Each structure stands twice: as structure tokens, then as C-alpha cells.
């Protein structure tokens, strides 16, 4: 292209015009026509041959067979045999095909998620604890208990300063007392791995109450308890929640009032049915009725459109006739 542009310029065109013909910027043309000489780059920090040999000799020592590359890197500095970065040691060993990628083991491969349990027809009794700090400075721990998949709050207990196994057992036992017997057949307790939840007394009592062991979420995985975590956020930031609490009694009053509000509000996760309606078994009836209402409204709108739709006006010498569809 540079040669073609030079020939065009030699025929009398300006450099700018010649470059425009070929769709090239004049500045780029000048750079291509007069390239700067390439300066050879010297890798001044390149590892020396004797250092490379020292790394390989260390890797061949029996004590480092099957060990991570970091062991060889540390040994080089401790023994003063070579001083190289971890990445350099890795590159040297990889070039000799001495590094094998270790497959990551699947963590908790046999874990059964809460979703899987509910898909199998089980109901989950979820509970957790969260802290409120009123202006008085005395921490109040709320202990909400919810049943899934209905998202119905069975009750919210509370304790001062901290949550013990006895506080949790008392709250769960009180919540189970109001649970319909029809939901206790396939009921499993589900919680995170808090100290009160994993206490031997908690596991013993709840197993006696439900006839099944507690199902725990995975460590450091709050998504396994997403429902109760979402409930806690709603409990603290609900539109009707007080902006602040002056005393412990103010917190307890809000915890007593909240289940009535929550259980009678529609939830998007329940297809905009309230938890009370889901628990009572009327969810499917309500959704079916809504579907029928939408179909009836659609039909009504179609008939209204059909009756009001008109054909173009046909004019005759004697009269104007309007034909309806």
C-alpha cells in the first residue's frame, strides 16, 4: 500500500489526497513509509543457566516429589541455592513438564439442598437469629421461625444479650404448637451452623419433636438459607418498621406485631398470594380464579374491539352506508 500511495503522489496528487483514496491516515502512511529501527530488548532479569539447573536439581530431590511448587521456591531461599520468584520456579518446572495440574475436589459433593428437599415433598422449618440494638444499648436477639414453602411465620421469639440453645428450643417448640398437624408428617428442620443451632440439646429436642435430624446449610454459604435471610431483612427494613427503637419493650412489640403483617401480605415468590393463604391450601384456587378472570377480561376486550371495529365508509350518489364488521 505504501508503494501504491507513493506512485499516486508521483503522478501529482498531494499526500493527503492520495491517502484518502486508499482510506489511510497520512500520519499512519508516514509511519509506515519511514519505520523506526527496532531496538533489541535485553532481558536483563532473565534467569541464569546455573539458576535454572539449581531449580531442576532441587525438584529432583526425593523430599520434594509430589510437593507443591511453593516448597521448592521456599527451599531455594532458605538454602541459598537460588533466588527466584514463585512464578519463575513454576515456569522452569512447567517447561520440563514437571508440573501437573491438580484437579479440584468437589466440596460437599453429597450435599442435598433445601430446594431438592422441597421438590421431594418435604416442608422445612427454618429458623435463625438477628440482633436489634435499641437506644438503651441492651442487645435484643430476634429468633424468627418460618415454614417453607409457604413462607409463613409461625412466631418470633427473642432473648437479651445472646441466643442460647434453650432460647432457640423454647421458640421452636412454641412455634410447632400452632402448626397444623397435616404439615408435621414430612417436616424437616433447616438452619445454618450457628452455635445454638448445632448444640447437642437443640439437635436432641428438635429430633424428638419432628422425628428427623436437623438439616444444615453448608459452611459460609448464606444462600442455603436464603428464605430466612430475606425474612430477616424484611423484619428490619419493612416499611412499617420503626426507624429506631428506644427500649427493649419497643423491639418486643414490633416482633409481636410483625408476623400478622407479613403473613397477610402478598409475596412475589408465592405468585402474589399471602403466606396465610398458601398455608391454608387456598393458593391454587386463588391462582386458578385469577387465570379465569384474566381470560374473561381478554375475551371481553376482544368483543368490545370487534363490536366497535368498522369498515371504511362507502359513499353512493343517494346515501352514505357504514358497514359494521
Say if CB 126 and CB 147 are below 8 A apart: yes
Structure-block grid coordinates of residue 54: 539449581
pLDDT value of position 106:
59
User: Phi first, then psi: what are they for 295, rounded to 5°?
Assistant: -65, -40
Which residues in 218-236 are b (16+ Cβ under 10 Å) and which e? eeeeeebbebbbebbebbe
Task: Over range 250-274, report the average pLDDT.
Answer: 92
DSSP three-state, residue 318: coil
pLDDT value of position 46:
81
33 vs 321, which has greater pLDDT? 33
**pLDDT tens per residue across span 223-243:** 888 999 999 999 999 999 998
Calpha distance 86→71 (Å, rounded): 10
Tell if the pTM clears 0.75, that is, is over it: no
Task: Find out if CATH 3.30.420.10 is the number for domain 114-278.
Answer: yes
**pLDDT tens per residue across span 152-199:** 999 999 999 889 999 999 999 999 888 888 888 889 999 998 888 999
What is the domain partition of the chain in residue ranges?
A: 2-33, 49-95, 114-278, 282-325
Residue 325 binned pLDDT confidence (cut-offs 50, 70, 90) = very low
Calpha distance 277→251 (Å, rounded): 27
DSSP three-state, residue 34: coil
The three-point CA angle 106-110-111 to 5° equals 100
Amino acid at each position: 500500500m505504501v508503494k501504491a500511495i507513493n506512485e499516486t503522489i508521483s503522478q501529482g496528487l498531494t499526500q493527503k489526497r492520495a491517502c484518502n483514496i486508499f482510506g489511510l491516515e497520512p500520519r499512519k502512511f508516514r509511519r509506515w513509509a519511514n519505520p523506526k529501527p527496532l531496538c533489541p530488548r535485553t532481558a536483563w532479569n532473565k534467569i541464569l543457566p546455573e539458576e535454572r539447573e539449581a531449580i531442576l536439581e532441587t525438584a529432583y530431590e526425593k523430599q520434594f516429589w509430589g510437593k507443591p511448587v511453593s516448597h521448592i521456591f521456599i527451599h531455594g531461599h532458605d538454602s541459598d541455592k537460588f533466588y527466584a520468584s514463585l512464578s519463575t520456579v513454576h515456569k522452569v518446572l512447567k517447561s520440563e513438564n514437571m508440573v501437573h495440574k491438580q484437579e479440584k475436589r468437589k466440596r460437599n459433593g453429597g450435599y442435598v439442598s433445601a430446594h431438592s428437599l422441597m421438590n421431594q415433598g418435604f416442608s422445612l422449618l427454618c429458623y435463625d437469629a438477628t440482633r436489634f440494638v435499641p437506644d438503651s444499648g441492651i442487645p435484643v436477639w430476634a429468633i424468627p421461625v418460618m415454614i417453607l414453602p409457604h413462607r409463613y411465620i409461625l412466631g418470633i421469639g427473642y432473648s437479651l444479650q445472646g441466643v442460647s440453645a434453650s432460647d432457640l428450643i423454647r421458640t421452636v417448640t412454641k412455634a410447632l404448637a400452632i402448626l397444623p398437624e397435616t404439615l408435621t408428617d414430612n417436616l424437616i428442620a433447616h438452619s445454618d451452623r450457628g452455635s445454638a443451632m448445632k448444640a447437642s440439646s437443640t439437635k436432641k429436642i428438635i429430633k424428638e419433636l419432628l422425628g428427623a435430624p436437623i438439616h444444615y446449610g453448608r459452611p459460609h454459604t448464606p444462600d442455603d438459607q436464603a428464605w430466612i435471610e430475606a425474612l430477616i431483612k424484611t423484619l428490619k427494613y419493612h416499611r412499617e418498621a420503626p426507624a429506631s427503637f428506644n427500649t427493649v419493650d419497643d423491639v418486643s412489640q414490633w416482633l409481636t406485631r410483625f408476623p400478622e403483617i407479613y403473613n397477610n401480605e402478598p409475596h412475589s415468590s408465592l405468585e402474589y398470594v399471602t403466606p396465610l393463604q398458601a398455608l391454608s391450601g387456598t393458593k391454587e384456587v386463588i391462582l386458578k380464579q385469577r387465570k379465569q378472570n384474566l381470560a374473561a377480561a381478554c375475551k371481553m376486550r376482544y368483543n368490545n374491539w370487534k363490536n366497535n371495529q368498522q369498515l371504511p365508509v362507502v359513499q353512493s350518489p343517494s346515501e352514505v352506508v357504514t358497514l359494521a364488521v
